Structure 1
Amino acid sequence: MFKKGILIFIISLAACFKLNAQNSAAAPNPFMVKGFHIDLRIQVMTMDALKAFALKLSRQGINTIIMEWEGTYPFEKHPLIPNRYAYTKSEVASFIKYCADLKIDVIPLQQSFGHVEYILRNEKYKDFREDQKDFSQVCPLQTDLDKALFTDLYTELAATHPSKYIHIGGDETYLLGHDERCKLKAAKEGKSKLYIDYIKTLCDIVIKLGKTPVLWADIALKYPDAIKLLPKRTVFIDWNYGWDMNNFGDHQKLMASGYEIWGSPALRSSPDNYFLTQWEKHFKNIRDFVPAAAKLGYKGIVMTSWSTSGQYSAVFESEEQLAEVYAIRHVYPLSGFNILVDAFNESINKAGPLNIDEFIAKYCKNKYGFDAEQSAKFWQALKTTPYEIRNGRVLSKQPLTIKQVLDSTKSALDVLYQLTPDANKNEFEHYRLMTGIRVNYLQLEYILQKANAPDFTGEMVPGILQELRNLMMSEDVVDMHFTELNKNFLNASELEAENNLRNLRTRLLYDRLSRKK
């Protein structure tokens, strides 16, 4: 009887192992491409920081990095395009080789339609512009010029990147049909034809180089029938940062087109800036979109991480002479977002909905040694009053004053300083610093609200000036904290520029009110 029982147990155990193996084989991870997008339009990471970040990603299963080099790529044939922070060719080659050793494919992203201010700002490329005041987009009818330029750029990128892919951008082409010639073609054939004809030209260049074109899918979703004119090997990346799945268009039509699709949530995106990070929004984006992409049958998933909105403010010396273009929105550097990187990696490796509260508790326990109560306090502090302030008004569903948001954020900062991590203390300092930056910002907004009140008079100026002096001292402390935490992550001149940018409004207001009588 005993031997028979043992035999039954062994048979049952074997059946369980077989069933588990069958289930595992029946449900492999749906994403062949597990990617991360690094945006170097501003906040250019040092090469050591880039390599350290790639190592972190590889250890968590990431096999692809999409590099938006922009002005940091050292184009030789077009030397006006690289900026002051451009890497050398040897540095680029070293990074790509380093990633290859980690089994990471590095895909270059070269914007080739919209978001090309950094190219079109130069007089040499003025004939490429769709608009002579808005330098964000090339004219799709300058076919010979555009084809020659992007053939040059793609050829250089192909020479240094062994990847089979080149990402050509193609998103947010808001100026379609703006130029007079384009306007005529759009009226006759439609904006979709204007877009697709040009994108096809770019795809053909990439294919002739032996590469596969990749592009953002927002326009493709808008014009699902027109995209059938593109080469069948084209790959689309559907980016969704927390909105309705059909925000850009019908996903079923996109899937029915037969093209390979990858999905893309965001770790930093609008309205994030230095003064606001909507942590809960990004966690929910990961929780909801990753499994949705898996269900739709997407073959890849790529986390985007935007350092800026991609919109720029042009400064003119005269009516026609450009002096500079400035990125409108800056966010906190990628150095402060390890928790979201890890959340994304956990989500894609199981390809199921992320349990946010469980993840936060586990992360805080493993990284900082927090118990459940401490973890809950940490999470509550991160997501406290995550509202924009616009023109002196809090953008919240329930009525809130700036003072109320300020007080709540101060309380959150107190909580973060009361929590004492056992490990990874530098990482934890980023949360404190980001919250401290927000407190200073809200303090300025509160001061501005008082200064702009109908009853504000000259007699009140001394009091406001004292508040501004106190704020500037606090900003100086934050600047030192920011520089210390990010000194190995960004270039020294970038750290100074970022500090100056954050404090600009405070200084300008103080100078204006403290003028000599």
Structure 2
Amino acid sequence: MSSSTPFKMRLVHLDLKGAPPRVSYLSEVFPLFHALGANGLLIEYEDMFPYEGHLRLLRAKHAYSPSEVTEILRLARLSELEVIPLVQTFGHMEFVLKHAAFAHLREVALFPNTLNPHEAESLALVQAMIDQILELHRDVRWLHIGCDEVYYLGEGETSKQWLQQEQNSHAKLCLSHMQAVASHVLTQHPGITPLVWDDMLRDIPQEQLKASGVPQLVEPVLWDYGADLDVHGKVFLIGKYQECGFQRLWAASAFKGATGASQALPPVEHHIRNHELWLQVAGSGPRDALQGIILTGWQRYDHFSVLCELLPVGIPSLAACLQSLVHGGFAEDVRLRAEHFLGVSSLEITDTVRYVTGWFSPYHRRRKLVHPVMIQHIQPEALSLLSRWNNLVQQLEAALQLVFYPDTIEEWLEENVLPSMQRLQDLLQDLGEAAARQPPPTGPGWDTGQNP
């Protein structure tokens, strides 16, 4: 592996709160992850973990069994991928707090996303989740405890009363819960270090962070998925965290799942640019300031949102991003390497069809207006495309069955395939009706007033 990368660890994030892959598929992609330059995995189980006892109701319908988790870890070891499990312990707790049995532990009664940090039962709950996860991950060195996007913190009734007391603040409330969870990990599971997402820490005053003791307990993961990442700002933030006493820092980029809640295909150039900027951050700050980078691949924005890009269609983007990290950028030779690994001729995705948007827009379709020559351009292509769609859907469903569970396939087809087929059928119907009208339109002087 090239020595040009400043990131010792390069972890691929598996977000299992949407479209969790079958273990058989993971056995195929783990060797590819390693070949592309990954040496670790961040596995965000959410409801796919086989919780037991009073936590058993958290399991999704197709949750992995304990033996399947063990097999995933074995497959990871075979591909030299170090595993870090992730369990949310503060924000993004929808998969727990949506259940009636735990709804009383919400910070705000109406919203299932944030845990009430004042309840002793809340801490006991996340401690039990942590203990069960680490029981099946005995050899790990890190545990990610989440703590990002803790929305509505301080807006619960108990918090409002607590905040009225002198010297209490939202920052103190956040830090105290983070400290309690991290302390449990360190005392009950020696040798395992907690990681946290850094967004709740960014705006806390430096002295308050330092005095909280949290910098001695956790390692923050600085995340930014933008193609306009502020390099100078990130370097400044690294310096702030180091001065507060954090011993180790991590970065987090994105190879998919960060450009739209319903995004179907990753914009590869966006994600490559994000990684190039993270390389600049690593090269501009103190040497070895960032211990590793997590390439996130979000599958849902939260537990209740739609699916975004599935893992298989994110592989080309992942390949480009990992190879960028390994070789210090995405020059032409690096592009060719990535394409060689994937067995594809190009990572580019382009669309050159302009006739529909230019000459048969919604305006034209409502009025059944179309230039005769455009019928010759649009109709044969649309008919051919519909035929290919029908064949492709059958092939796609068969392929998805090899990777995902039935509920994922049903959701994905209903969200992403069936609407496109319906739009194509509607287009052909509108085109046929427009073509049947006499006399045909001849130019920009159409009398639209005669066409309701």
How far residue 185 of structure 1 moved from its aligned partner, in angstroms, is 3.3
Q: For residue 227 of structure 1, what is the aligned residue in structure 2? A: 209
TM-score norm. by structure 1 comes to 0.68
The match for 1:119 is: 96
Contact 2:37/2:326 (<8 A) preserved: yes
Preserved CA contact (<8 Å) 1:111 1:168: yes
Contact 1:186–1:193 under 8 Å retained in 2: no
Change in 2 beyond 3 A, CA 1:369/1:153: closer
C-alpha change, 1:472 and 1:179, in structure 2 (3 Å) is farther
Match of 2:291 among 257, 280, 299: 299
Q: Please list the CA deviations of residues 145-184 of structure 1 after superposition, one character each: whole Å capped at 9, or x if unmatched.
A: 1111111111111111120211100111121111122134
**Gap regions ≥5 residues in structure 1:** 1-23, 313-325, 385-407, 412-438, 457-465
Of residues 312, 316, 324, the one that matches 1:339 is 316
Q: Alpha-carbon deviation of 1:508?
A: 9.6
Contact 2:117 2:123 in 1 (8 A): no
Match of 2:49 among 48, 51, 73: 73
Flag the 1:28–1:178 CA change in 2: closer, same or farther, 3 A.
Answer: same
Q: Distance in 1 between matches of 2:27 and 2:340?
A: 27
Q: Say if 1:251 and 1:231 are closer, same or farther in 2 by CA, change over 3 A.
A: closer
Distance 1:219 1:262 in 2: 15
| Residue in structure 2 matched with residue 147 of structure 1 by the alignment | 123
User: Is contact 1:112–1:170 with CA below 8 Å preserved after alignment?
Assistant: yes
Matches within 5 A, 1:120-139: 120-139=97-116
Structure 2 equivalent of residue 256 of structure 1:
243
- Tell me, in whole angstroms, the C-alpha distance in 2 between the residues paired with 1:505 and 1:248: 44
Cα deviation, residue 277, structure 1: 2.9
For residues 363 and 156 of structure 2, the distance between their equivalents in structure 1, rounded to whole angstroms, comes to 42
- CA pair 48-177 structure 1, distance change in 2 beyond 3 A: same
Query: Does 1:496 find its partner at 2:410?
Result: yes
Residue 151 (structure 2) aligns with: 174
For 1:405, the equivalent position in structure 2 comes to none
Q: CA deviation at 1:223?
A: 1.5
Is the 1:116–1:137 Cα contact (8 Å) retained in structure 2? yes
Counterpart Cα distance in 2 of 1:217 and 1:101: 31
1:237 partner SS: strand
Q: What CA distance in whole angstroms lies between the structure 2 residues aligned with 1:481 and 1:151?
A: 44
Counterparts of 1:472 and 1:128 in 2: how far apart (Å)? 50
1:244 aligns with 230
What is the rounded CA distance, in whole Å, between the counterparts of 2:204 and 2:410 in structure 1? 44
8 Å CA contact 1:218–1:248 kept in 2: the answer is: no
* Aligned residue number for residue 11 of structure 1: none
Determine if contact 1:222/1:248 at 8 Å carries over to the other structure.
no
CA distance in 1, matches of 2:344, 2:108: 55
Q: Aligned pair in 2 of structure 1 residues 179, 481: CA closer, same or farther (>3 Å)?
A: same
Equivalenced residues, count: 396
Counterpart AA for 2:224:
N
1:85 matched to 2:85: no
Any gaps of 5 or more consecutive residues in structure 2? 369-378, 430-452
TM-score, normalised with respect to structure 2: 0.77
Q: 2:179 aligns with which of 200, 215, 240?
A: 200
Which string of whole-angstrom CA distances, capped at 9 and with x for unpartnered residues, describes residues 330-378 of structure 1?
223111223222223223334x2333x44334444665574xxxx5xx6
**8 A contact 1:113–1:173 mirrored in 2:** yes
- SS in structure 1 at match of 2:19: coil
Aligned-pair CA distance for 1:497: 2.3
Distance 1:276 1:185, change over 3 A: farther
Partner residue, 2:443: none
Task: Return the match for 1:62 from 30, 33, 38.
Answer: 38
Distance in 1 (CA, whole Å) between partners of 2:82 and 2:172 is 33
Question: What is the CA distance between 1:231 and its match in structure 2?
Answer: 5.0
Instruction: Provide the identity percentage.
Output: 21
Cα deviation 1:190-248 (Å, max 9, x = unaligned):
21111111111111111122221111011122225233321514111111112324389
Q: Is contact 1:221-1:249 (8 Å) kept?
A: no
Alignment check: 8 A CA contact 2:215 2:244 kept: no
The residue number in structure 2 matching 1:463 is none
Secondary structure, counterpart of 1:287 in structure 2 = helix
- Taking the aligned partners of 2:266 and 2:38, their CA distance within structure 1 comes to 24
In the alignment, is the contact (CA less than 8 A) between 1:221 and 1:248 conserved in 2? no
C-alpha distance in 2 between matches for 1:362 and 1:98: 25
The answer for the alignment partner of 2:353 in structure 1 is 410
Q: Which has the higher contact order (CA 8 A, sep 6+)?
A: 2
CA–CA separation in structure 2 for the residues paired with 1:293 and 1:163 = 26
d(CA) in 1 for partners of 2:386, 2:157: 49
Q: Say which of 19, 22, 27 aligns to 1:51.
A: 27
Change (3 A) 1:507 1:283: closer
Structure 1 runs of 4+ with >6 Å offset: 446-451, 469-474, 506-511
Alpha-carbon distance between aligned partners in 2 of 1:214 and 1:450, rounded to the nearest angstrom: 55
What is the CA-CA distance between 1:475 and the residue it aligns to? 5.8
- Cα 1:196–1:137, aligned 2, differ >3 Å: closer, same or farther? same
When the two chains are superposed, the root-mean-square deviation of aligned CA atoms in Å is: 3.5
